Amino acid sequence: MERIEREHTCIHYDRLVEVEARQAETEQKLALVMARLEQFEKKVLGPQSERMPSVAEELRKEQRRRGQTPDPLQTRKKRKANQEALKAAAVEHHVDELVTDEQRTCPECGEEAKTISKERTSETWSYVPGYFRRNIFHCETVACDCGDYIATAAPPPRIFGQSKYDASFIAYLVVSKVCDSIPFYRQEKRFKRKGMPIARTTMNTLLKRAGEELRILHRRMLELIGEQGVVLADETSLPVVDVKKCRRGFIWTFSSRVGLGEETEVLVGFRYSKDRSGLTPVEVLGDSKGVLVVDGYSGYNRVTCPDGRERAACLAHVRRKFFDARSTAEADVDAVLGLVLDVYRVEHEALEREIVRTKKHLALRQTEGRLAMDALRAWLDAKAPAYPPRSAMGRAINYALNNWERLCVFLDDENVPVDNNESERFLRPVAKGRDNWLFAGNDEAAENIAVLLTLTSACEANRLNPEEYLADVIPRLSTHPAADLDELLPHRWQPRAAA
């Protein structure tokens, strides 16, 4: 009888352990599902910002706690520079404000007062809407009295054959569509309000021709990026119209920096592909050597494994995974976000000291930066056993630990950034385009978008006006020597008058 009771107890205990294990697994799955549901609701309904107190804000708080205040001289210099920039950009319009007739008569003697000064001034800013200018070229004809000679001046050459729209208008269309993500149907309404009815088909034709003409500069930009030692890359989807429905294409961005300080030149290139395979990175980077800063997508393995570029991971992606898990473990997430912030403090200090991408920056990374990364690693090792691997926090911790060596690449190279945020910023026009002009009409249109994005984004990254650049470069392409093609790239460009 005792043996039967003992066997019954053992069976009951085994079943209880099994039920508890299943319950724990179910709770883990439920927590993971709830975390994903929260992310989905946030993406669809709520703000998508990951904003926390920034490094600059934290440093300002520390300065206030220590009794340190910002240098007022630097503040005045910055304000003065902004005012000078505004004055240089605006067209001055002087208006004489005269006193009234009553004020012009002296109340004491009745005589008319005379003007003695106009030094007192008042200033306002107004906006004058843009306008179209119709250029009419009167071609002179000369003839000799002998009757055997006659000559007529040739009109200026037209852009794209017989188009009546010049390069300035084409540049405006490109920047409005690609940089500002304004679809052509909205531009059509805008032009009509100004009294210039221009059809969308005309605008599409001009955009297509611009992409075709500028493709040679696009190819050269990607070649230069492939030659650089440190390259950043990322990709995002772009809907493309197919026969019956839209399918997903992809826009890839590749970027790099050359030089130091104010002489830094930014190279930016975009590439369209019909799928997300690793062929695109291979076509752009080939078997080049150096460092590739990317996220965890396996499509970049073809250019990093086994003898290709060294792969560097993105600390911002690590931070994002912890931020997404904040609802499940708020205290621990805030702690790890603080440790990540310590790493960015070091980079912000290098920026404040103006030593970015120099040997002093490398020394700062190898001392303070390494200490901050060691503290982050110690926290990850300590907290890893506390969270199930399939939970939101467990996934975030495992992602950081699995990519740890790649995350630390920046500690030994001052040219490698901590994160890949720059590439994501370059892709913002594509994301805005998906919300505004929605899709590309076909694969060729998507390739043209990549070409135009390359040049406009490179202009903005190098602090150039893309409208001025395109208006100057488009007419010069047909006559510029092929050997000097680099002179027309945004980071080397000089206006025609300066050149």
Q: Specify the pLDDT at position 465.
A: 94
What is the Cα–Cα distance from 160 to 155, expressed in whole angstroms? Answer: 15
Q: Specify the pLDDT at position 416.
A: 96
**CB-based contact 333:324 (threshold 8 Å):** no
The residues spanned by each domain of the chain are 136-313+420-499, 315-419
* DSSP output for 350-419: HHHTT-TTSHHHHHHIIIIIHHHHHHHHHHHHHHGGGS-TTSHHHHHHHHHHHTHHHHTGGGG-TTS-SS
Which residues lie below 8 Å from residue 320, measured CB to CB, with a gap of 6+? 50
Q: What tokens appear for 162 in the block? A: 């017989």
Report the DSSP pairing between strands 310-312 and 291-293: parallel
Which among 319, 327, 339 has a CA at the least distance from the CA of 399?
Answer: 319
In the beta sheet, which residues pair with residue 268? 255
What is the Cα–Cα distance from 220 to 198, expressed in whole angstroms? Answer: 33
The one-letter amino acid code at 163 reads S
**CB-based contact 456:474 (threshold 8 Å):** no
| Average pLDDT, 10 consecutive residues per value, the chain (499 residues) | 53 73 77 72 63 62 62 74 71 76 76 75 74 86 85 84 86 94 93 88 93 96 96 96 89 92 87 95 94 93 90 95 87 93 92 91 95 96 90 92 96 95 95 92 95 97 95 91 92 79
Q: What tokens appear for 291 in the block? A: 């460092």
Q: Specify the pLDDT at position 344.
A: 93
Helix, strand, coil distribution of the chain in percent, nearest 5: 55, 10, 35
Whole-Å CA distances, 457 to 180, 223, 415, 429: 11, 17, 21, 9
What is the Cα–Cα distance from 428 to 434, expressed in whole angstroms? Answer: 10
What is the Cα–Cα distance from 207 to 452, expressed in whole angstroms? Answer: 9
Which residues lie below 8 Å from residue 358, measured CB to CB, with a gap of 6+? 260, 414
Q: Looking at 301-354, list the stretches that DSSP marks H as alpha helix, in order from N- to C-terminal side.
A: 301-304, 315-324, 330-352
Q: Specify the pLDDT at position 73.
A: 73
Strand order in the sheet with 265-273: 265-273, 246-258, 230-241, 291-293, 310-312
Report the DSSP pairing between strands 265-273 and 246-258: antiparallel
Q: What tokens appear for 190 in the block? A: 């805008």
Q: Specify the pLDDT at position 8.
A: 54
What is the Cα–Cα distance from 403 to 311, expressed in whole angstroms? Answer: 10
